Structure 1
Amino acid sequence: MRLRRRPWLVDVEPSRLSVRDMAAEAAAGIAQRPGRSVLTTLGTVLGVGAFVAILGLTSTASGQISEQFNVLTATTVTVKTVDERGFGESRGEGPATGTEPVDSAFPPDSDARITRLNGVETAGTWRRVHFESDPVIAASPEVRPGSSTSLGGISPVFAASPGMLRAVEASVTRGTPYNGFHERRGERVAVLGATAAQHLGITRLDSRPAVFINQQAFTIVGIIGDTRQMPEMLAGVIIPRGTADRLYGPASVESSEEMLIRTRLGAAALIAGQAPTALRPEDPGLFTAVPPPDPRTLREKVNQDLTGLFLVLAAICLTIGTLGIANTTFVAVLERRAEIGLRRSLGARPRHIAAQFLAESTSLGLLGGMVGTCLAIATVVGVAVVQDWTAVLEPVAVLPAPLIGALTGLIAGLYPALRAARIEPQKALRQ
């Protein structure tokens, strides 16, 4: 701009601040106090790093969850009776009273009927045996109710078909599981869960120990140490279904029976549709088969839950980083008042001063974003290597991360930059 109305004034060129000069000034301001600059960027490093690491680890873990889901849950079908109040009502025989046992909806050869279906690996029925009062479960017939050596009220008694032990993938650490012979003859044998066996003090089976349920002896043929499903069986006593039917009656209202079916991968939906008819061709409406949920729905829900939770933590870190940069920039403005006054007196305009401090805070944010992104990528890859997973990093989460750091620095520097732009050169030089 040239001033022509006042001839006593010489021509004055307007003050300019090029992008190159602004970048050089920002770099000089950051390098002038390297220790403070490093500490200032830590908040942004943590915030951006947490943002990228959370998204990467969530995607990686989600992939592993989906894989485990396909292997275990996607091959499981559960069959239940339609009316849990009593099987008689579903058959048109009138509702059960709740105290009188009714015929089980599952036929005695349920395991064989289901395993004949193409795609079924194993299947078994189970229920909890109902007693009028807590049973006395002990390693000796002399034990009475309330004794510290009794499992009564602590451990349940399960009536399960031999296929059920295979369906839950029970690992037998001692002895062997009972089989179809025990089931058909109603033999008084039992399998103990590891927790129940430890409480009873039974660790060896070579002396053919027995467990007494209300003073009725059951020879222990095996001890299971772990299961893939239904871990509550580890704390209980498991007897053959046929034995429970003879001694305590078939399934009642209080102990409704269920079936667990293990299928080959991809066959669960088909088996869920065929199982009720295979069990009761004359009345398949007695049962409802529950197939596994859609793995895509599970994956999306896991992603939403984990991402939503941890992104809040990332936002908190970014907020802390923003406050840190804002505080440091504001302190720098106060310390450099004389420099600001000198620049203003030499022709720098308020917007040039504001741009200089905004460039410094944005550079700090960008630097923190880049470092945080690199650390987050290394963290995701490291966790994947240690866990033997496949690392999953979405470009949409990694590429914008440094820009998020720069935006954080820009926002943090707005107020200090405006304060610096309003400093009067006369007052600044007098201090």
Structure 2
Amino acid sequence: MKGFARRQRSVLGVADALRLGFLGLKARPGRSVLSALGISLGIAAAVAVLGISASSEADLLAQLGAAGNLLTVGAGQTMTGTPAPLPSTAAAMIRQIPPVQSVTATAYIDGASVRRTAEVPAIHTGGISVVAAEIGLPKTLDARLESGTFLTEATIHYPAVVLGAVAANVLGINAPGPGILVYVGHEYFTVVGILQPVTIAPEIDQSALIGFPMAESAFNPALQPTQVYLRSAADEVPAVSRVLPFTANPAHPETVRLKHPSDVLEARAKARTQFTGLFLGLGAVAVLVGSVGIANTMVIAVLERRREIGLRRALGARRSHVAAQFMIEAIVLSLIGGACGVLFGGVATLAYAAVTHQQTVVPAVAPLAGIAAALAAGSIAGIYPAYRAARLEPSEALRSGE
């Protein structure tokens, strides 16, 4: 009939739905913050774990690159279990292998101790070993000095010692100097240098390094090397590994121990990957708990706003509009928590990298995955509250709200 206007259908635009969602959260800020906190902590933990793992992995990859062409030849044992030291010519023979780029030998001095003073009992060694070293050790192991200098052509003949990072810490020595002495064996040695940690050869960290000539005159005239470190062309490492036992000890190649330090770093990287999976699982549990908290908050909101829902329905809002309003509130609440979590996780990664002196690496997938997880959690958390709100009849909602 021409006298009756056609009834318009109620329409809820996207902008209006978002505005309603924010207004609903703004009406109860304290509860909203606490609900978002659960999601935020879970996302922060996940982002921080991924960021810290990526930063550590980048550091390990750098170390692997430094250790990729490093090989260690060590003294072993015979079939009867007796020690089989390397020949004194081992380092010189290894230098003759064409792909070998640098070689340095060390010798463990049995029975020698390192103490701060002679008054300290000899049994209190602190786990520090006395090791004879060649002047080429820093170049071969890429070792860097924390302070002072390394052994030179002059100091290897005199009572001069370079301390590894752990050894210096145990002895309580922060810097070398003319008056800084340690008691090595039966005489005082001047500390001329302190090394930074040597990741690819951690045994050096717990050592007091002296020159071979000094070690032979003070401890053992027939001192033989116990370890030989060498670097070769990266592409030739397998070939060099095959000939090393026969070159280092031609008489008894079966007693030679051959190590590749990068294997230890790779094992460490695998161990860290396992821990990363564990912590990600804990972060996922935290996100799940946070989504339950959001769902609970939204259910309470439906009960408290029954009159509002009834009034909107009486004014023409459809069930889908009411459901959309509460669904959007849950999603917005979760996304706010997710965004804060991504920020907190990034800050935690930055702090960790600064403390450990590593480069800060946050994978691009970490913040994206964090926001996606928050979106999914909010969507799941809003389903039941939205369903309950949409099922309310206008008359019933208005009566219950009085």
The TM-score normalised by the length of structure 2 is 0.70
Corresponding position of 1:287: 256
- Indicate which of 84, 93, 113 corresponds to 2:93: 113
Question: Using a 3 Å threshold, how does the CA distance of structure 1 residues 411 and 57 change in structure 2: closer, same or farther?
Answer: same
Q: Does 2:26 align with 1:26?
A: no
Q: What displacement does 1:380 show?
A: 6.2
**Partners of 2:313 and 2:333 in 1: CA distance:** 24
1:35-81 deviations in whole A, cap 9, x for unaligned?
6545543443444344345434433442232123312x324312234
CA deviation map 1:268-302 (0-9, x unaligned):
44443332222123543332322244699569626
1:278 paired to 2:251: no
Matches within 5 A, 1:12-51: 18=12, 20=14, 22-23=17-18, 25-33=20-28, 36-37=31-32, 40-51=35-46
Out of 74, 85, 91, the position equivalent to 1:80 is 74
Query: Secondary structure of the equivalent of 1:125?
Result: strand
Matched residue of 2:384: which SS? helix
Give the distance between the partners of 1:197 and 1:38, measured in 2 at CA: 49
Matched, 1:335 2:304: yes
Asked if structure 2 preserves the Cα contact closer than 8 Å seen for 1:48 and 1:372, the reply is yes
Amino acid at match of 1:191: V
Partner amino acid for 2:132?
A
Partners of 1:14 and 1:369 in 2: how far apart?
39
- Which residue in the other structure is 1:177 paired with? 151
CA offset at residue 412 of structure 1? 1.6
The equivalent residue for 1:160 is 132
Q: Using the alignment, how far apart are the partners of 2:114 and 2:24 within structure 1?
A: 80
Distance 1:296 1:172 in 2: 23
Partners of 1:337 and 1:410 lie apart in 2 by 21
CA distance in 2, matches of 1:391, 1:317: 23
Distance of 1:130 and 1:26 partners within structure 2: 76
Which one of the candidate residues 61, 64, 68 is aligned to 1:66? Answer: 61
Task: Identify if the C-alpha distance between structure 1 residues 222 and 296 changes in structure 2 by more than 3 Å, giving closer, same or farther.
Answer: closer
SS in 2 for 1:260: strand
Q: Is the 8 A contact 1:196 1:235 kept in 2?
A: no
Structure 1 equivalent of residue 216 of structure 2: 243
| TM superposition shift of 1:136 | 9.9
Q: Counterpart amino acid of 1:272?
A: S
Aligned to 1:177, the other structure's residue is in SS state coil
- The residue number in structure 1 matching 2:332 is 363
Q: Distance in 2 between matches of 1:36 and 1:397?
A: 28
Q: Is the 8 A contact 1:138 1:150 kept in 2?
A: no
Partner AA of 2:94 in structure 1: I
**Alpha-carbon contact 2:302-2:389 (below 8 Å) kept:** yes
Inter-partner Cα distance in structure 2 for 1:421 and 1:79 = 75
Structure 1 counterpart of 2:216, one-letter code: T
Q: CA deviation at 1:361?
A: 0.9
Alignment CA distance shift 1:290-1:354 (3 Å): same
Kindly indicate whether residue 114 of structure 2 is the aligned counterpart of residue 123 of structure 1: no
Distance 1:350 1:34 in 2: 26
Q: Tell me which amino acid in the other structure corresponds to 1:116.
A: Q
Structure 1: distance between partners of 2:176 and 2:19: 77
CA contact (8 A) 1:114 1:123 kept: no
Query: Please, which runs of 5 or more residues in structure 2 have no aligned partner?
Result: none
> What is the CA-CA distance between 1:309 and the residue it aligns to?
4.0
SS in 1 for 2:151: coil
Match of 2:50 in 1: 55
3-state SS, counterpart of residue 151 of structure 1: coil
- Tell me which structure has the larger Cα radius of gyration: 1
Alpha-carbon RMSD: 4.9
Aligned partner of 1:304 in structure 2 is: 273
2:195 to 219, 223, 226: 226
Q: CA 1:271/1:154 → structure 2, altered by over 3 Å: closer, same or farther?
A: same
Contact 2:159–2:189 (CA<8 Å) still a contact in 1? yes
For residues 305 and 172 of structure 1, do their structure 2 counterparts lie closer, same or farther at Cα, with a shift above 3 Å needed? closer
| Pair 1:420–1:204, CA change in 2 (3 A) | closer
CA distance, structure 2, for counterparts of residue 192 and residue 409 of structure 1:
60
Check whether the contact 2:130–2:207 (CA below 8 A) recurs between aligned residues.
Answer: no
Paired residue type of 1:78 = T
TM-score by length of 1: 0.66
Task: Output the CA distance in 1 between the equivalents of 2:328 and 2:8.
Answer: 21
Check the 8 A contact 2:91/2:105 in 1, yes or no.
Answer: yes
Pair 1:411 & 2:391 matched: no
Q: Return the alpha-carbon distance in structure 1 between the equivalents of residues 209 and 169 of structure 2.
A: 7
Unaligned runs of 5+ in 1: 1-9, 90-94, 141-147
